[in-house]
Amino acid sequence: MSLLHINNLTMRFGGLTAVDAVTETIEPLSLAGLIGPNGAGKTTVFNMITGVYQPTEGEILFDALSIVGSNPHEIANQGIARTFQNIRLFPSLSVFDNVRVGFNNASKTGLFGSILQPGRYWTEEKEIADKIDHLLGMFGLLDNRQELAKNLSYGDQRRVEIVRAMATDPKLLLLDEPAAGMNPTEKVELMNLIRYLRDEFKIAILLIEHDMKVVMGICEKIAVLDHGAKIASGTPEEVKNNPEVIKAYLGESG
Amino acid sequence: MEEFLQQLINGLSLGAIYALIALGYTMIYGVLRFINFAHGDVFMIGTYIGFYVLNTAFVQSLGPGAETAVIVFLAAMVGCGLLGVIIEFLAYRPLRNRPKLTVLITAIGVSFFLEYTGQLPFVFGADPRTFPTVVEKTTVLQAGGLVIDSYQIIIFVVAIALMLGLRLLIMKTRIGTALRASSMNLKAASLMGINTNAVISFTFFVGSALAGAGAILYAMSYPKINPLMGILPGLKAFIAAVLGGIGNILGAAVGGFIIGAAETMTAGYISPTLRDAIVFAILIIILIVKPSGLFGRGGTEKV
């Protein structure tokens, strides 16, 4: 059974159709890519999946349940996490606290529970702190745990964003241009990291990326958007040789 | 020197109350980026909650003292907290995605609603009421001309304890982390699984509860209460928040103390009639010299 199924998904902003009847499926444990020229509607698709926008038409099924109309935090708690094209960490929070925000709903003790049973609250806090440190350790960020997010290097900020997303315990991770602004070495590290995430955490990953080396290098399946419509999908080889895709990227010859 | 110290102590104890109110303005601004102009009226309602609680047969049978104080503070804080949550839910939440100006004007509307509904004869009535004694006023320390009374001690202890408690809440707990995250980026916070509506309700509860505590402290010191009494302390606390840098919690506390001291000093050394004017003069100066406030960061928008 597919993990995410989007069917006939359409988003109109006034007279502009940003996403036009897109249908696509993401399988559990898959590594999928969403590509297309600038303005093709890729981020809009992400925004609809995560509940930032309500689609004009169409449906989104996650784990066979419709998530259209759910709030962003409800969708996040159901298991979809994301990162952003332009980094959106909480700049004046420490790395530790940034990740802790992702753990916000791991708590079983509510507000009243915390007041009535402070002991249990603090035990739970300790457990969460251990988990955060474990995650930070896996990503080599343990030394930066008390640093403010805004003081980190660009590459580290990108990694913290991924750790924060992983803290919400997702089944599907959406990465919006993870390789943007990275140098070739960092891109190779990123590719390894993405594969590692999928294998270690047993999640599916869908990424938007302009860097073809990255996309072709790690994605098992690629969907191509142009002017909001899906013009192709398939394995990297299939997509690379698809005349429609070439036309969308390079324009018509002659 | 003695007189100066006396003025300073008087000023700082008034300032502690402004600081408590200012914290509410700044917390709400921090998360929602708008000034809750009804905050001063929530403060006013707090004094009336205290007034009615103090006039219940049960509390009167206790008489002035520590138990009465605990009951009246808790009642005013919880009452104001709930009022804040209700105001947000009914008046501001439906306008969440509208332009900020819409919410701002609504806040002024809520403010008028509370002020003028309060004046109706069957609500509070327009006539001033006398706030009953919560605890007896005694002189704690007298050295020469310097007098410190028990009210000033209570104001300091309550205000400082609440501020430290707030700091602990915001810096150490998970809901506090969620609150700080929401104030930096509401949308990103919701995408990380935070129920931002719950965080906003929580912010209104805590901010309004602090105003409730400030209300009791204020009414103890100035025991004439009326439905329009929230306007001026509310405005001054707002100026305190702007002075400290709106959205900045430490700034609101420091701003409150500065405004209180400036007001008392002006009244004592220059003229009592200028005590309100000086506060607004400070507002004008800070807006000209450093609009982001003492602790505020420069507000350069990224293009």
Task: Identify the pLDDT of residue A111.
Answer: 58
How far, in Å, are A41, A224, A251, B92 from residue A247 at the CA level?
17, 12, 5, 49
CA atoms within 13 A on the CB side of A154: 10
Label residue B1 by pLDDT band (50, 70, 90). confident
- What DSSP string describes B287-299? HHH-TT-SSPPP-
Q: Do A84 and B175 touch (CB under 8 A)?
A: no
**Residue written as tokens 């251990």?**
A130
**Degrees (nearest 5) of the Cα angle A196, A164, A114?**
130
In chain A, what is the straight-line distance between the N-terminal and C-terminal CA atoms, in Å?
45
pLDDT mean over A235-243: 90
In chain A, what residues touch B202 (CB-CB under 8 Å)?
A: 111
pLDDT higher for A212 or B48?
A: B48
Query: In this structure, are residues A253 and A246 in contact, taking their beta carbons and an 8 Å threshold?
Result: no
Q: What percent of chain A has pLDDT over 90?
A: 65
Confidence tier at B301 by pLDDT (50, 70, 90): very low
Looking at residue B302, its pLDDT comes to 45
Q: How confident is the model at residue B303 (pLDDT cuts 50, 70, 90)?
A: very low
Banded model confidence at residue A246, pLDDT cuts 50, 70, 90: confident
Average pLDDT over residues A75-103: 92
Contact A90 B180 (CB under 8 A): yes
Q: What is the mean pLDDT of chain A?
A: 89
Residue corresponding to tokens 């915390």:
A114
pLDDT exceeds cutoff 90 at B78: yes
pLDDT for the residue A105: 64
Q: Is the pLDDT of residue B300 over 80?
A: no
| Chain-chain contact of A81 with B192 (C-beta, under 8 angstroms) | yes
> Which of B177, B185, B190 lies nearest to residue A73, judging by beta carbons?
B190
Place domain A88-169 in its CATH homologous superfamily. P-loop containing nucleotide triphosphate hydrolases (3.40.50.300)
CB A82 within 8 A of CB A165: yes
Q: What residues have CB less than 8 Å from B221, skipping those under 6 apart?
A: B13, B14, B17, B151, B155
Distance CA B10, CA B189 (A): 42
**Higher-pLDDT residue of A189, B78:** B78
Look at A104 and B184 and tell me if their CB atoms are within 8 Å.
no
Contact residues, B window 152-181, toward A, CB-based 8 Å cutoff = 173-175, 177-178, 180-181
Residue B284 has pLDDT above 50, yes or no: yes
CB of A92 within 8 Å of a chain B CB? The answer is yes
- Match domain A1-79+171-254 to its CATH number in 3.40.47.10, 3.40.50.300, 1.20.1630.10, 3.40.50.200: 3.40.50.300
Among partner residues A73, A81, A93, which is closest to B195 by beta-carbon distance? A73
- What number is the ipTM of this complex? 0.83
Q: Are A225 and A35 in contact (CB under 8 A)?
A: yes
Query: DSSP letter at A17?
Result: E
Using CA atoms, how far residue B246 sits from A183, B85, B205, in Å, is 40, 21, 19
Q: What is the largest CA-CA distance in chain B?
A: 64
Separation between Cα atoms, residue B41 and residue A83, nearest integer Å: 42
For B166-217, write each residue's pLDDT tens digit: 999 999 888 899 999 999 999 899 999 899 999 999 999 999 999 999 999 9
User: Chain A: nearest CA to B190, how far in angstroms?
Assistant: 5
Burial class (CB in 10 A: 0-12, 13-18, 19+), A58: middle
Per-residue confidence (pLDDT) for residue A94, from 0 to 100: 94
Flag whether residue A247 sits within 8 Å of chain B, measured between CB atoms. Answer: no
Q: How many residues does chain A have?
A: 254
Q: Looking at beta carbons, which residues of chain B come within 8 Å of A71? A: 190, 195
CB distance from B254 to chain A under 8 Å?
no
Query: In chain A, positions 128-157, which contact chain B (CB-CB < 8 Å)?
Result: 128
Strands A57-62 and A65-66: antiparallel
Tens digit of each residue's pLDDT (9 = 90 or more) over B119-176: 999 999 999 999 999 999 998 888 888 899 999 999 999 999 999 999 999 998 888 9
Which residue ranges make up each domain of chain A? 1-79+171-254, 88-169
Predicted confidence at residue A83, as pLDDT, reads: 93
Separation in Å, CA A65 to CA A4, A6, A23, A107, B62? 9, 11, 16, 24, 58
Q: What is the mean pLDDT of chain B?
A: 93
Q: Once rounded to an integer, what is the mean pLDDT over residues A182-203?
A: 91
CA distances, A40 to each of A25, A31, A46, A174, A227 (Å): 19, 21, 12, 17, 5
Average pLDDT for residues B233-247, to the nearest whole number? Answer: 95
pLDDT interval class at A103 (50, 70, 90): confident
Amino acid identity, position B99: P
The reply to whether A53 touches chain B by the CB within 8 Å rule is no
Question: Confidence class of residue A186 from pLDDT cuts 50, 70 and 90?
Answer: confident
Q: State the nearest Cα–Cα gap between B76 and chain A, in angstroms.
A: 20
Q: Do B190 and A76 touch (CB under 8 A)?
A: yes
Contacts of B175 in chain A (CB under 8 A): 111
A223 by DSSP, 3-state: which? strand
Chain A residues closer than 8 Å to B192 by CB = 73, 76, 81, 101-102, 104, 164-165, 167-168
Express each pLDDT in A51-73 by its tens digit.
Answer: 999 999 999 999 999 999 999 99
Cα separation, A108 vs B145, whole angstroms: 57
Rounded (10°) angle between helices A95-102 and A118-138: 110
pTM as predicted: 0.88
CB contact under 8 A, A101 and B177: yes
Among B174, B167, B192, B170, which Cα is nearest to A124's?
B174
Tell whether A165 lies on the interface with B, counting CB pairs under 8 A: yes
Comparing CB atoms, the residue among A88, A111, A125 nearest residue B188 is A88
- Chain A and chain B share a number of CB contacts under 8 A equal to 75
